[in-house]
Amino acid sequence: MSWSTTLKNRQLIRSQLAAGEEIAVMFSDIRGFTEYTAAAGDRAAWRLARFHETLLRNEIEGHNGVLVKTLGDGVMAAFGELRDGVAAAVAIQRAIRAKNDELETRPIEVGIGLASGIPVMTETDLFGNSVNLAQRLSAMAKGGQIIVTKKIKEAVPLKEGLRYIPLGRREIKGLGEEELYEVAWMAELFRISDAHDRITIVLTARGTVVVEMAKGARQVTGKKHLPFFRFRRTRKADPPAGLPRVPGSGGSRIPPPPHPHPPVGWKEEHPAARGRSSRGAGVHRESPPSRRWKLILPLRVR
């Protein structure tokens, strides 16, 4: 997008604020960025942050928004129309998911928060309650999740294929309680969360399993038990296409030898065990019909 268009969008947002009209404020940040920096080094982390910024800038400006500033592992953006903010958030998550399918390295997971209000806008920043709220929502969001306020939910009807999921009233640090909603942007067949809503497993219509993790979720269960999932072909015998590989198995998605505390992973279920209830959570799918795979989670499920 040209600089003149960006300047025009900024001026339109300023005019709306001067007239007392609400705008949408978005925050987005990369999950696991601190951990990635420690493991991969500063230069690799800088490249990841630049890649994230470029991808988000394209989607934000493509939806009539303005990237207000970058925050190392995140960005702040503003939109004159609330619907543009929601559309941009969905486009960002879809673009990141598509890019992850191409990556040979660690996938990118981003949490997005959206709020609305009439903040104070300077040349390089936004100030106000809506800004603080959007930032808090971004911090609450799991990787791949979009969290919005009730006000945005009521103002923005979603297009076909999208839906709002009520998250209930949540205590926002320093801001009191807010009624929140998730914008579900994947064609979901099934979803399940742990008892503390730190990790969500989503089975999509395209046959992939998506793991959404909140900030610090890996520390709750342990790094070895919560890998970043990758989707790739391997030279060893594979479970159904799209299932994540398991650490410690040489890159294969076939599980490693039994562990006293099973990590997250996939294992083949014996035909005799089918139909019986299993302990913990399980997600099943068949491919080919003669084989069935079960997702094992060391989690308590509501």
Q: How many domains does the chain have?
A: 2
172 and 229 co-located in one domain: no
Of 185, 209, 224, the domain-final residue: 185
Which pLDDT value is given to residue 187? 63
38 and 171 co-located in one domain: yes
143 and 247 co-located in one domain: no
- C-alpha distances (whole Å) from 21 to each of 29, 94, 131, 202, 256 are 27, 29, 15, 37, 57
* DSSP classification of residue 247: T
In 3D, which of 259, 266, 269 has the Cα closest to residue 290?
Answer: 269
118 and 263 co-located in one domain: no
109 and 195 co-located in one domain: no
Q: Tell me the pLDDT of the chain (302 aa) as tens digits.
A: 566 778 888 999 999 999 999 999 999 988 877 777 888 888 888 888 888 888 899 999 999 999 999 887 789 999 999 999 999 999 999 998 888 777 666 677 899 999 999 999 998 899 999 999 999 999 999 888 999 999 999 999 998 889 999 999 998 988 989 999 999 987 655 566 655 666 667 666 554 556 665 655 554 444 443 433 333 333 334 444 444 444 444 444 434 444 444 444 444 444 444 444 333 333 333 333 333 344 444 433 33
Of 135, 152, 185, the domain-final residue: 185
Which pLDDT value is given to residue 104? 60
Which pLDDT value is given to residue 41? 86
Q: 161: left (phi > 0), else alpha (psi -120 to 50), else beta? A: left
90 and 215 co-located in one domain: no
49 and 173 co-located in one domain: yes
Domain that holds residue 296: 186-302
53 and 129 co-located in one domain: yes
CA dist 208 and 240 (Å) reads: 10
Domain of residue 163, CATH code: 3.30.70.1230
Which pLDDT value is given to residue 202? 64
64 and 33 co-located in one domain: yes
Angle at 292 between CA 290 and CA 298, to 5 degrees: 165
263 and 114 co-located in one domain: no
Of 185, 214, 244, the domain-final residue: 185
64 and 159 co-located in one domain: yes
